[in-house]
Amino acid sequence: MRDIVLKALIILPIIAFADYVIMAVVGCASCALGSTSNFYQCAFCTIGKLVLGVSILLFMGILYFEMRTMKQRNKQVGS
């Protein structure tokens, strides 16, 4: 269980930083392409929600895989 917590403490900030960089790139690109303030009120928030949702699903998938691997390891040790 300790391994899962350590991996979560390492992976979660990496995912958060990647989200930040992605949203900064989207914001800079949209500004360079001349988007209006309406873009930042509607589409930018939608893009941010999608990026955050994908990140959460990715993180949950990683945790699920680690827990499944840990259970399989415990079954092999117990046998």
What phi, psi does 34 have (nearest 5°)?
80, 40
pLDDT band at 79 (very low <50, low <70, confident <90, very high): low
pLDDT of res. 51: 95
CA angle, corner 73, sides to 70 and 76, nearest 5? 155
CA angle, corner 61, sides to 57 and 65, nearest 5? 175
d(CA 23, CA 3): 30
Helices (H), the chain: 2-32, 37-41, 43-78
Flag whether pLDDT at 1 surpasses 80. Answer: no
Domain assignments of the chain as residue spans, ordered by start: 2-78
